[in-house]
Structure formats: structure tokens, C-alpha cells
Structure 1
């Protein structure tokens, strides 16, 4: 074994939920939740009795948007080559 090669038991393993395919699937599954929550926000703003419950679609929109941004950044960093398992881990 050469100096440049790491033994198999020492190589960093990428978890299944951190693969490019899993990130893309999660992104596309979160998109309908985000759109649904935006519709809920607009509907709550138009209907007077529902204004007190606007926090539900607002929280749903913020969480889904945050997760979509994180997944998009993760795939973008991996595509650009700035973060790989060989270069020191996964953000």
C-alpha cells in the first residue's frame, strides 16, 4: 500500500442521505410544501378569521425554504468540487 492510499477502514464514508440523489429528491419533495404554504399565507391574509393562524403556513414556508436552500448549497458545493469526502468532509 502506497503512502497516498488510505486503508479502506480509514476512508470517510458518505451517508446515504447525503448523496447527490438524496439531496435532489428532498429538494423536489420540499418544493410542493413551500408552494402550498405560500398559498396558505395568501389565503390567510385575505380571510379575516384566519389571520390569527397565519403562523402555521408561515412556519411551514420558512422551514421548507431553509431546507431547500441547504440542500441546494450542498449539491452546489459538491458539484463545484470545494467540498468532497476526500477534502475534509461534508458540510
Structure 2
């Protein structure tokens, strides 16, 4: 799969380029939630074999990502209780 070249890029590079462009278009032109768009792009990169599964999921083990996710839960609780 690495030996296929088109305009100087491998097939994996073209998959990444098309995926990034598609993410930009979907974020600009549709009202799809950002998490669905980015999870879809992550799924495309995993299914096509462009990125190994352990590298794709490695970002979720970062402590900063876990902290931001926890803050989203706290803020959602504050909004639903009427505090904010």
C-alpha cells in the first residue's frame, strides 16, 4: 500500500488529505456536532489502516484530555441545575 504514488504522495497521504478536507467542509457547511465529525474522521483513519489503532486512541489517555472531559461534565451539571 505504501508503493502507490500519485502526484508525489502515497495512498495514505491522500487518505489523510481527503479526510481533513472533508472535516473542514462538514464543519463549515453542516450543523453536525463536532464530536461526530471528528470521531468519523478518526474511524476512517483507523479502518483504512492509515493510522494504527493504538496511535489513534493514545490521545485519549492524556491527562489534559481527561481533565477537559471532566470539566464538560461539571459544566453540563451546572447548566442543567440552573446554576448557570
Asked if TM exceeds 0.5, the reply is no
TM-score bucket (shorter structure):
0.3 to 0.5
- Higher strand proportion, which one? 2
Which structure would you say has the larger RCO, counting Cα contacts within 8 Å and 6 or more residues apart?
Answer: 1
